[in-house]
Amino acid sequence: MPETKKRRLLVVLGYIAFTLFSLVAGLFLTFPYETLRERARMEADQAGYVLRMASLGPGFLALRVSDLKVAKKADTDPPPEALRVETISFGPSLFPPGLSLTVRALGGSVSTTLSGLTSTRLKVDAEGIDLSKGNLKGFSGIDFAGTVDAHLDVSLPRVAAGTAAAEPDLSQASGTFTLETKELAINGGNVSVTIPQFGADPTPLDLPKILLGNISAKVKIAQGAATVEDFRAKSADLEANISGTMKLGKRLEYSEPNLEVRFKPDPEFQKRLGLLGSALSIIGADPKDPAWRLGRLTGFIGRPQFR
């Protein structure tokens, strides 16, 4: 290419890049942030939460929220404690082209990217999440400990906007999911759970110390069929293995698990569980090794059955 044409091309590309930069920068600088702040508060209020944020405004080509606090609505004194989020950034991503959302909280970060031309690709990377931070204990009522790293990378067929099926169809998803935890534990707290053996109403329970330890999991997804390639959990309290498949529905709650769950609780740990420990004793022994118990998770994610 002659030198003159090359210089002209560079000038044209420079003008295009400057125009796009100016357009995006102008959008973020003139965005109605106060309106968005009030809308977010209203939506949280309708969902039963109180939302507070120190600032909401432009970041580097992104919308940025700093020092966000979320608490449950309740007329109590003192009021419920809030979950703390350091920052939230939302804006366009360049590589690959799409939208990016980054949340920094609990001592780590969760980065989400939505991209794709012929299909929609969703990528989520959660790294260094420390469950003992961010006042998660005060917010949830459960004293968690340990760190979590998780990675999800799935692709779904592109859905035309304005059609009756505008929502992403998970039954056509393909990709991978991995999970790694270190020294995961519940050091106490209270929770309400439904135990089928004791009726349909939620039962309030005081949680004892539960050591879940190190968990390693890998799931492969191909055209809506998820296969658990590896799931192992081991601690002083419990050993567990999960295998099987899950048929993904159009929405997650309609997905149908067909999973075999093998676990071996420590006798002292089972005593500490109290009512939950009694429920575990109902589950039959593994025919291959009576020291282990064997159950099957079926039904739907929205209404699971474990027997």
220 belongs to a structural domain: yes
- The structural domain count of the chain equals 1
Read off the pLDDT of residues 17-48 as tens digits, 9 standing for 90 and up: 556 555 555 555 566 778 888 888 999 999 89
CB atoms < 10 A from the CB of 274, how many?
13
pLDDT at 276: 72
In a domain, 211, yes or no: yes
The whole-angstrom separation of Cα 240 and Cα 245 is 17
Q: Per-residue pLDDT for 246 more than 90?
A: yes
Secondary structure class of 155 (helix, strand, coil): strand
- Residue-wise pLDDT tens digits, 45-103: 998 999 999 988 877 777 889 999 999 988 887 888 999 999 999 888 877 788 899 99
Closest listed residue to residue 213, CA positions, set 188, 191, 187, 239: 239
The string of DSSP letters for 199-251 reads -SS-EEEEE--EEEEEEEEEEEEETTEEEEEEEEEE-SSEEEEEEEEEE--SS
Q: What is the pTM of this model?
A: 0.79
Domain carrying residue 290: 141-306
Q: Is residue 32 part of a domain?
A: no
Q: Is residue 69 part of a domain?
A: no
Residue 1 or residue 130, greater confidence = 130
**Within-domain flag for 182:** yes
Q: Please report, for residues 37, 122, 174, 223, 254, the alpha-carbon distance to residue 157 in angstroms, rounded to integers and kept in the order given.
A: 33, 11, 9, 10, 19
Tell whether 292 is covered by a domain. yes
Q: Using alpha carbons only, what angle is made at residue 275 by residues 272 and 277, rounded to the nearest 5 degrees?
A: 55
Residue 179 lies in a domain: yes
For residue 128, being part of any structural domain is answered with no
